[in-house]
C-alpha cells in the first residue's frame, strides 16, 4: 500500500504542485457551505492535529488559495475560506488526481475486486475508528 500512496502523492505533487494534505483541505473547503470551515473542523475531518492544519492553511494562504479570518464571537477561533484561486487550483488538480487513482488502482481491478476492497476498507476503518475513540 505504501508504494501506491507514494505514487499517488508524487503524481499529485507533479501535476498540481501540492501535497495530498493541501488537496484534501481544498476538497473539504470546496464542499462546505460558503466554502468555509472552522480550523477545528478541518483538523477533525482530516484526523490531524490543529498545529498541522494551521501550518498547512498558512501555506495555502501564502499561495492565495485560502483566506483565514477570526470566527465572529470567538476571537480564539479561526475560519478558513477557499478563495476563487483555490477553487481554480482544485479544479485543475482534481482530474489529474482522479486519472492517477484510476491508472494505479481502479482500472487494475475487476468490479468484484473493487466491491471487495470497499468491504475490506469498511471493516478496517470501523476497527481503527473504534480503537481511536477508546484512546
Q: What's the chain's average pLDDT?
A: 93
Query: In 3-state terms, what secondary structure has residue 135?
Result: coil
Average confidence (pLDDT) over 78-83:
97
pLDDT reported for residue 13? 94
What confidence tens digit (pLDDT) does each residue in 28-61 have? 999 999 999 999 999 999 989 999 999 999 999 9
Q: Which letter, b or e, does each residue of 40-76 get, where b requires 16 or more Cβ atoms within 10 Å of its Cβ?
A: eebbeeeebeeeebbebbeebeeeebbbeeeeeeeee
pLDDT reported for residue 99? 96
- The secondary structure of 15-74 as a DSSP string is HHS--HHHHHHHHHHHHSGGGEEEHHHHHHHTT--HHHHHHHHHHHHHTTSEEEEEETTE
**Is the Cβ–Cβ distance between 62 and 56 less than 8 Å?**
no
pLDDT reported for residue 135? 63
Name all domains of the chain by residue range, CATH numbers in brackets.
2-104 (1.10.10.10)
**Element at 125 (helix H, strand E):** helix 111-134
**Element at 68 (helix H, strand E):** strand 66-71
pLDDT reported for residue 75? 72
Q: Which position has the grid cell 508504494?
A: 3
Q: In what order do the strands lie in the sheet with 66-71?
A: 36-38, 74-82, 66-71
Residue with more model confidence, 135 or 105: 105
**Is the Cβ–Cβ distance between 81 and 34 less than 8 Å?**
yes
Amino acid at each position: 500500500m505504501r508504494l501506491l500512496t507514494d505514487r499517488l502523492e508524487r503524481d499529485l505533487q507533479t501535476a498540481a504542485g501540492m501535497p495530498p494534505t493541501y488537496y484534501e483541505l481544498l476538497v473539504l473547503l470546496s464542499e462546505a457551505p460558503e466554502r468555509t470551515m472552522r480550523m477545528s473542523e478541518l483538523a477533525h475531518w482530516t484526523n490531524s492535529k490543529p498545529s498541522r492544519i494551521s501550518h498547512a492553511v498558512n501555506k495555502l494562504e501564502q499561495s492565495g488559495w485560502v483566506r483565514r479570518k477570526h470566527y465572529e464571537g470567538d476571537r480564539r477561533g479561526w475560519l478558513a475560506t477557499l478563495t476563487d484561486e483555490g477553487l481554480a487550483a482544485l479544479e485543475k488538480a482534481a482530474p489529474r488526481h482522479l486519472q492517477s487513482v484510476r491508472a494505479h488502482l481502479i482500472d487494475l481491478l475487476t468490479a468484484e475486486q473493487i466491491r471487495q476492497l470497499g468491504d475490506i476498507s469498511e471493516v478496517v476503518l470501523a476497527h481503527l475508528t473504534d480503537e481511536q475513540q477508546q484512546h
